[in-house]
Structures are given as structure tokens and as C-alpha cells.
């Protein structure tokens, strides 16, 4: 049941998204990336010290690669959000689960390993179908470039998830992995704000200011749970469980922002929940099998 950590991570990320939606009224995107990274970095450093662990890592290049891919994916997603309808940007990013399945199949074929996870892969595709039903994405002709960037954000997220699995296999603790990703996020945000500038705090609403620290803490806890899920859980099951984030986001949208969910949206939510249940049931028939785990 380790994959249930991904459900908790999805809830935390959806809650964080509420804070980003509120804070974005006062802060620019790169400012939010910077503050999220800084708060998360401090929070995780305290956690590491409290657990008596060390920030020194024997695999710095693995962390550098994970952070680079993760931050590029995050930045691509923010770009897609800025230039595409929100539903489209979220759908393209949530294709990460499909990409994870594709990478697993590709790795199995490349190394000649037998692939026995067809039913689990089916739950990933079923969950993505539920995402499309819930968000109903659209794309205009003049949004093709942004659409490609959004697609790449999902691919990058999948690569980062597999790298998290690899870090877990070499014994890196979850909190250290999250700390170094936070460092990468803060660095990219800091560099970006050198060009865009910072919003004067006198111009920031109290609602936006109140979310700055919670966004970083929620991001830390979400990344922590996600890292634990990919480290200990079956990869395809975890990839299917991540779609729970759309369910949580939809309810937040309905309750907090008064958005309307069409009947096909509710059907999509039901499909997402069903895919997660099926993935859990099928877990007993399949074992995690990723290229990262075979080396």
C-alpha cells in the first residue's frame, strides 16, 4: 500500500495549487518558484537535521540530474499554464503517468525483459482518460508551441519520477532528495527574478503573503510523500494514483472558487477513482519493473 503515499502527495499538491492561485494575484510565476524553493529548502534542512541525518550525499550527480529535469519540467508547466487554458496545461502535465508507462515498456523491450504489466498499464491509460473527461482540454492553432512545451513538461516529470526511483534504490533518504530538488528550484527562481524583478511587499495583498510559507511547506510535504511512493511502491501503481490530484483539485475548484463541474467531469472523476482501485487490486499480480530498478 506504499502507493497510497501518492494519494496523500496529490492532496498536498492540490492544496498547494490553491495557494498558488491566490498568491499569483500579487506575485509573478518566477517569484513563486523562488519563494517555494527557499521555504522548502529551509523546511527540509530542518527535517534532515531533526532526523539526525546528513545533507552530504554520495551521489551528487544523480541529485543534479533529478533536480535539473524536475525544475525544467516545473518551468515548462508554468509556461504552459501562462499560455494555454488551465485544463489543457494540466492534462498535458498529467500525461507524465502515460510517459512513465511508455518508458517502462521501452526499457523492457530494450533490455529484452518480459513485460507482464499490461493490466497495470491499462489502469494508467484509464486514469488519463478520466483526466481528459474531467478537464476537457482544448488547443487553438496559435497555441501549438505552448502545447509542445506542456507535453514536454509531462515527459520531464516522468523522467524525474524514474530518477527518484533510482535514488531510492541507491539508498538516498526521501528528505535529502527533496532538499536538493528544493535547492534547484530556488536557484532557478532566483536567476529568473534577476530579469523579472520582485514585487514590492507593499503591493502584495495579505491573502497572497499569507500563502508564501504554506506553499513551500506543502510543496515539501508533497514531494516527500511522492518520493516515498516512488521509492517503495510499484511504479505503475504510483503513476495511476497520481491522478487523484485532479479529483482533489476539482473539489477545491467547486467548493472554494464556485466553479461548475459538468456531468462528464463527474464521470471523469469516477473513472479516475476506478483506475486507482483497479491498480491497487492488480498490484498483487505484477511487480515493479523499471530500467532504474534493473541496474
Alpha helices (H) along the chain: 4-23, 29-50, 60-83, 86-93, 96-110, 118-135, 144-169, 174-196, 206-232, 235-241, 244-257, 263-282
CA 73/CA 169 separation, integer angstroms:
23
**Residue 145: what pLDDT?**
86
Segment 162-209, tens digit of pLDDT = 888 889 888 888 899 999 999 999 998 999 999 989 999 999 999 999
Cα–Cα distance, 265 to 67 (Å, whole number):
34
Angle between helices 4-23 and 244-257 (to 10 degrees): 40
Mean pLDDT of all residues in the chain?
Answer: 81
Confidence label for 290 from pLDDT (cuts 50, 70 and 90): very low
Q: What is the pLDDT of residue 61?
A: 92
Q: Is the pLDDT assigned to residue 213 strictly greater than 50? A: yes
- Among 128, 35, 113, 30, CA closest to 293: 113
Residue range 101-138, pLDDT digits in tens: 777 766 665 555 555 666 767 777 888 888 888 777 76
Q: Identify whether the C-beta of residue 226 lies closer than 8 Å to the C-beta of residue 96.
A: no
The residue range of the domain holding 80 is 4-294
**For position 2, what pLDDT does the model report?**
66
The C-alpha angle with vertex 244 and arms to 253 and 180, in degrees rounded to 5, equals 100
pLDDT given at position 289: 44
CA distance 181 to 40: 9
Q: What domain count does the chain have?
A: 1
Average pLDDT of the segment spanning 274-292: 59
**For residues 245 and 225, what is the distance between their CA atoms, to the nearest angstrom?**
13
Place of cell 493490466: 119
**What's the length of the chain?**
295
Contact between residue 36 and residue 189 where contact means Cβ atoms under 8 Å apart: yes
Could you tell me which residue, 127 or 210, shows the higher pLDDT?
210
Long-range contacts of 143-146 (CB under 8 A, 24+ apart): 143/83, 143/84, 143/88, 146/79, 146/80, 146/83, 146/84
pLDDT at 62: 92
What is the rounded distance in angstroms from the CA atom of residue 256 to the CA atom of residue 18? Answer: 9
Cβ neighbors of 143 (< 8 A, separation 6 or more) are: 83, 84, 88
Q: What angle do CA 253, 259, 264 make, to 5 degrees?
A: 95
Amino acid at each position: 500500500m506504499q502507493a497510497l503515499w501518492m494519494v496523500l502527495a496529490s492532496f498536498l499538491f492540490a492544496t498547494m495549487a490553491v495557494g498558488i492561485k491566490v498568491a499569483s494575484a500579487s506575485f509573478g510565476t518566477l517569484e513563486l518558484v523562488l519563494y517555494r524553493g527557499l521555504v522548502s529548502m529551509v523546511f527540509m534542512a530542518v527535517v534532515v537535521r531533526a532526523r539526525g541525518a546528513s545533507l552530504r550525499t554520495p551521489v551528487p550527480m544523480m541529485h543534479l540530474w533529478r533536480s535539473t529535469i524536475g525544475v525544467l519540467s516545473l518551468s515548462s508547466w508554468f509556461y504552459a499554464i501562462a499560455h494555454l487554458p488551465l485544463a489543457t496545461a494540466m492534462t498535458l502535465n498529467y500525461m507524465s503517468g502515460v510517459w512513465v508507462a511508455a518508458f517502462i515498456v521501452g526499457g523492457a523491450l530494450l533490455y529484452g525483459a518480459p513485460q507482464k504489466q499490461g493490466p497495470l498499464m491499462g489502469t494508467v491509460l484509464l486514469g488519463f482518460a478520466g483526466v481528459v473527461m474531467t478537464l476537457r482540454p482544448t488547443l487553438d492553432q496559435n497555441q501549438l508551441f505552448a502545447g509542445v512545451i506542456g507535453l514536454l513538461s509531462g515527459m520531464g516529470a516522468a523522467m524525474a519520477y524514474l530518477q527518484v526511483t533510482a535514488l531510492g534504490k541507491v539508498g538516498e533518504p526521501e528528505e535529502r532528495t527533496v532538499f536538493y530538488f528544493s535547492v534547484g528550484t530556488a536557484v532557478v527562481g532566483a536567476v529568473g527574478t534577476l530579469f523579472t524583478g520582485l514585487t514590492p511587499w507593499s503591493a502584495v495583498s495579505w491573502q497572497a503573503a499569507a500563502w508564501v510559507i504554506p506553499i513551500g511547506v506543502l510543496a515539501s510535504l508533497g514531494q516527500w510523500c511522492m518520493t516515498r511512493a516512488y521509492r517503495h511502491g510499484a511504479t505503475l501503481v504510483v503513476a495511476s494514483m497520481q491522478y487523484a490530484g485532479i479529483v482533489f483539485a476539482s473539489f477545491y475548484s467547486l467548493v472554494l472558487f464556485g466553479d461548475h463541474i459538468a456531468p462528464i467531469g463527474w464521470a471523469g472523476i469516477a473513472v479516475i477513482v476506478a483506475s486507482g482501485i483497479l491498480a491497487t487490486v492488480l498490484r498483487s499480480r505484477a511487480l515493479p519493473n523499471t530500467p532504474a530498478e534493473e541496474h
